Amino acid sequence: MGSPDPLGVGILGAGPVTQAIHLPSLARLRNILEVRHIMDVDSAVAESVAARVGAKHSTSIDALLGDPDVDIVAICSPHQFHADQVIAACRAGKKAVLCEKPFAMSGEEAARISAVSAETGVPIIVGAMHTFDPGWLAAEANWGDLPENVHTIRSSIVLPPNARFEDFATEIITRPASGNPDYSDIEVIKNFLRGGIMGLAIHDLPLVRRFTPDFEDLEVLQARHVRPFGYVISLRSGRPGAGDRIIELRAAMNKTWKPEWVFEAISDDAALRVDFTPSYVQAGSAVATITRGTTSTIYGPFEHNGYEGEWRELAQLALGTKQPPSAESLINDLTFAIAIADATVDLAAAEHANSHAGARS
Q: State the pLDDT at residue 182.
A: 76
Nearest 10 degrees: CA dihedral of 82, 181, 200, 219? -100
Q: Could you tell me which residues are beta bridge partners of residue 260? A: 158
Q: Are 58 and 46 in contact (CB under 8 A)?
A: yes
Cα distances from 79 to residues 62, 75, 82, 104, 178, in angstroms, run 18, 9, 5, 7, 18
Which residues, 6 or more positions from 14, have their beta carbon under 8 angstroms from its beta carbon?
Answer: 38, 39, 40, 42, 45, 46, 49, 50, 76, 173
List Cβ neighbours of 68 (8 Å cut-off, separation of 6 or more). none
In the three-class reduction of DSSP (H, G, I as helix; E, B as strand; rest coil), residue 248 is classed as strand
H or E element in which residue 229 lies: strand 229-239
Which residues face 274 on adjacent strands?
Answer: 263, 288
Reference 192, options 357, 332, 184, 246; nearest CA is: 184
Q: What is the DSSP letter of 123?
A: -
Q: Rounded to whole angstroms, how far apart are CA atoms 276 and 190? A: 27
C-alpha 202/C-alpha 79 separation (Å) is: 13
Quick check: 42 and 22 in contact, CB under 8 A?
no
Do residues 140 and 210 lie in contact, with contact meaning Cβ atoms separated by under 8 Å?
yes
pLDDT for position 12: 97
Phi-psi region of 98 (alpha: psi -120 to 50; beta: other; left: phi over 0): beta
| Direct distance between the N- and C-terminal alpha carbons of the chain, in angstroms, rounded to an integer | 68
- What are the two backbone dihedrals, phi and then psi, of residue 46, each rounded to the nearest 5 degrees? -55, -45
* Rounded CA separation 34/31 (Å): 8
- Separation CA 318–CA 103 (nearest Å): 19
- Could you give the residue ranges of the DSSP H alpha helices within the chain? 16-17, 23-27, 43-53, 61-65, 82-91, 107-120, 134-142, 146-149, 162-169, 186-199, 205-209, 306-319, 327-360
For the chain, residues with pLDDT lower than 50 are 1-3, 162, 164-170, 172, 175, 240
DSSP string for 303-329: SS-HHHHHHHHHHHHHHTSSPPPPHHH
Residues 6 or more apart from 264 whose CB is under 8 A from it? Answer: 152, 153, 154, 156, 271, 272, 273, 274
Q: Which of 324, 318, 301, 307 is nearest to 29 (CA)?
A: 307
Q: Cis (ω within 30 of 0) for the bond into 228?
A: yes
Spatial distance between the Cα atoms of 226 and 204, rounded to a whole number of angstroms: 18
With both helix axes pointing from N to C terminus, report the angle between 186-199 and 327-360 in degrees, rounded to the nearest 10.
Answer: 160
pLDDT of residue 360: 53
Q: What is the pLDDT of residues 134-162, one digit of tens each?
A: 999 999 999 999 999 999 999 999 987 64
Q: What pLDDT is stored for residue 280 in this prediction?
A: 67
